[in-house]
A and B are shown apart, each in its own frame.
Chain A
Amino acid sequence: MAALKTLGDWLDNSGWTAALEQANIATSGKADSFLKAMYAELVMLTKFLHVRSMS
């Protein structure tokens, strides 16, 4: 699903990475790379959400 980088195109330069950086979730470079591979980030997030909903 490389096409999910569509979401990355949409969010690029919007300040999304700044928010991730300020929250200490990712460094600046890592947050930028999330935009290039938004799928990886979303898979991670969905896993977390699943874990959370199961608990």
Chain B
Amino acid sequence: MHKAFVAEDRNDTTTIEAWRLQRESESPQFHFWSMTLRLEVAVLLFVKALREGNFQLYIESLAKIAPRFFALDHPNYARWLPVHVRDMLDLQRNAQDVAEHFRNGYFVFNKTSHCFSSMPIDQAHEQNNKLVKDEGGAIGLTENPMQLLRWMISGSEIAQLVKEFETTLTQSNTKRDSVLHHKQTKSTQTQFRQQVIDLCASFVDLGNPFEEYSQDLLAIGTNDIADDKVKNTVRRIEQLGIDQYNTYVSERLESTSKHIMEPIKQNKLALFSRQPTKGVITGSKKLQIASLKQNCTLFSQLYISCQVREGNLDEFFAHENTSFPPALSQFGQLRFGTKSDLLGCLETVEMSQVKEPPVNALAMDGAVIVNMLKPSGCVT
């Protein structure tokens, strides 16, 4: 974005923020990627808040992300995240001690003394569960209640003993005074720097979305134009999410005019991955299209190879060239057909007799006789 801002010929007094707002209104492509950038930054701040135990940042970033759950139809998160944000904001009033502890970073868990390595408490629980389970977990124990109970009681104790034993073994090898993050090394920094440069270069190669001036929304790389409904989503998703979030908070948390468990209406917005299909394609039609595409590719390949090798094209196309001949199979399954269809072919060979011919004797197949007999009271 900065590259596009610098490159553009404009009045020098314009700030990047004002330029961004103007460009967002002009180009849907710019708007999509600018919005993505903002969302990613919000999520990065959320992760940073957790890793550093910064409670204020945690609340702020959560409040920024929450409207997106409404807009993109995640009802469970949409329902409970505003409740959590509100609880956390009210903590100072309702439970001062807890608020004080949370502000001091005790809403996350530190397993090591390394900086930027705090984790949410539920994640720490999950890691502890894994330690207790050890290899194999509870598989096979669930059918034996006594064994399962024994394992549940002793599992955590054994895990603690094993951990203590491992700590004493590795104590001499680890730098206990180190507070650096385990990835805070020069090679990691170099690699990351290179990846950032490569990614920026890759966006420029594929078409910098921040230098797009058309009214179309394009997929980077393929340059496929997205449906107008996707463009419409880009234009309204941000405001829609904020409006729904505010309405939810006022209706269900402040005025309580609606119960919190009342259904949240889904938006079903069109996205790049959920574009409306033009015309409904049924299963058999889909197979037919796939088969046609396959044939098209195969014939073009065979046609080219035939020309290169100076083969006789007439002779080549006189034969069936697929591994499963279409005359015998369709969509990978053998054609069964209808037996009576053969009559049409046979009639061209011999004229059918409409009148019953005079006969002296009648020969009948055993199977015909069995079918002629009545099931009850007959013997063969």
A residues with CB within 8 A of B: 3-4, 6-7, 9-16, 18-20, 22-25, 38-39, 42-43, 45-52, 54-55
User: Chain B interface residue count: which class?
Assistant: 35 or more
Chain B residues with CB below 8 A from A4, complex form: 43
CB distance from A8 to the nearest CB of B (A): 9
Contact present for B72 and A9 (CB under 8 Å): yes
- Report 22 cross-chain contacts, Cβ distance below 8 Å, ordered by A residue: A3-B69, A10-B68, A11-B36, A12-B272, A12-B273, A13-B219, A13-B273, A14-B219, A15-B218, A15-B221, A18-B220, A18-B222, A20-B199, A23-B195, A25-B195, A25-B198, A46-B51, A47-B51, A47-B116, A48-B189, A52-B189, A54-B184
CB distance from B136 to the nearest CB of A (A): 25
Chain A residues with CB below 8 A from B315, complex form: none
With A50-B181, A54-B184 already in contact, the answer to whether A42 and B202 are too (CB < 8 A) is no
Chain A residues with CB below 8 A from B273, complex form: 9, 12-13
Tell me which residues from 55 to 80 in chain B have a Cβ below 8 Å from any Cβ of chain A: 68-69, 72, 74, 77
Contact present for A18 and B74 (CB under 8 Å): no
Q: How far is the CA of A12 from the CA of B219 in the complex (A)?
A: 10
B148 proximal to A (CB < 8 A): no
Chain A residues with CB below 8 A from B205, complex form: 22
Interface bits B220-247 vs A (CB < 8 Å: 1, else 0) = 1110000000000000000000000000
Closest to A13 in B: B272
Chain A residues with CB below 8 A from B198, complex form: 23-25
Chain A residues with CB below 8 A from B268, complex form: none
Contact of A42 among B40, B68, B206, B219 (CB under 8 A): B40
CB distance from B23 to the nearest CB of A (A): 18
Q: How far is the CA of A55 from the CA of B272 in the complex (A)?
A: 38
Main secondary structure of the interface of A (DSSP, over half): helix
User: Beyond the given A14-B272, A23-B201, A49-B48, could you list 16 further A-B residue pairs with CB under 8 A, ordered by the A residue number?
Assistant: A7-B43, A9-B72, A10-B271, A12-B273, A13-B272, A15-B221, A15-B222, A18-B221, A22-B205, A23-B199, A39-B47, A42-B40, A42-B47, A51-B184, A51-B188, A52-B192
Q: How far is the CA of A37 from the CA of B37 in the complex (A)?
A: 18
Chain A residues with CB below 8 A from B206, complex form: 15, 18-19, 22
CB distance from B183 to the nearest CB of A (A): 6
Interface bits B37-48 vs A (CB < 8 Å: 1, else 0) = 001100110011
Contact present for B72 and A10 (CB under 8 Å): yes
CB distance from A7 to the nearest CB of B (A): 6
B106 proximal to A (CB < 8 A): no
Q: How far is the CA of A43 from the CA of B44 in the complex (A)?
A: 8
Q: How far is the CA of A11 from the CA of B68 in the complex (A)?
A: 13
B213 proximal to A (CB < 8 A): no
CB distance from B65 to the nearest CB of A (A): 8
Q: Which of A16, A24, A38, A47: most chain B Cβ within 10 A?
A: A47
Q: Which 8 A-B pairs have the closest CB atoms?
A: A15-B220, A18-B221, A12-B273, A23-B198, A23-B202, A13-B272, A48-B192, A22-B202
